[in-house]
Amino acid sequence: MAMLAHEMRASYAFIERNFHLTKRYWGWEIAFLVYSVAGALSVSLIGADVGSARLLLTLMVGAIFWNYLSVVFSWIAETIAVERWEGTLEYTMMAPIRRSTQLLGSVVYAMGYGLLHTAVILIVLVLFFPQLDLSHANFGTALVFVVLGSFSFVGIGMMAAILPLLYVERGAQMTFVIQSVILLISGVYYSVDILPGWMQVASRLSPATYVLDAVRRGLIDGAGLGELVRDAWPLVVMGIVFIPAGVWLFGKAERYAKRTGKLKRVG
Contact with another protein (CB under 8 A) among 51, 96, 197, 226:
96
Q: Is the Cβ of residue 11 or residue 138 nearer to another protein in the bound state?
A: 11
Contact with another protein (CB under 8 A) among 46, 49, 50, 90:
90
| C-beta separation of 70 from 176 below 8 A | no
95 binds another protein (CB under 8 A): yes
Stretch that binds another protein, among 163-171, 173-181, 213-221, 255-263 (CB under 8 A): 255-263
For the chain, give the number of residues. 267
- CA-CA distance, 189 to 182, in Å (whole number)? 12
Q: Is the Cβ of residue 230 or residue 258 nearer to another protein in the bound state?
A: 258
| C-beta separation of 128 from 38 below 8 A | no
Q: How far is the CB of 60 from another protein (least distance, A)?
A: 34
Q: Is the Cβ of residue 102 or residue 138 nearer to another protein in the bound state?
A: 102
Virtual CA dihedral for 172, 24, 146, 59, nearest 10 degrees?
Answer: -80
Contact with another protein (CB under 8 A) among 32, 86, 139, 199:
86
| C-beta separation of 172 from 81 below 8 A | yes
Q: How far is the CB of 7 from another protein (least distance, A)?
A: 9
**Which of 7, 96, 10, 58 has its CA nearest to residue 216?**
58
Contact with another protein (CB under 8 A) among 73, 91, 115, 172:
91
252 binds another protein (CB under 8 A): no
261 binds another protein (CB under 8 A): yes
Q: Helical H runs in the chain?
A: 2-24, 26-50, 53-77, 79-86, 89-94, 99-128, 139-161, 163-166, 171-185, 197-203, 207-220, 229-260
Footprint of another protein (CB under 8 A)? 2-3, 5-6, 9-10, 12-13, 16-17, 20-21, 24-25, 86-88, 90-97, 255, 258-261, 263-265
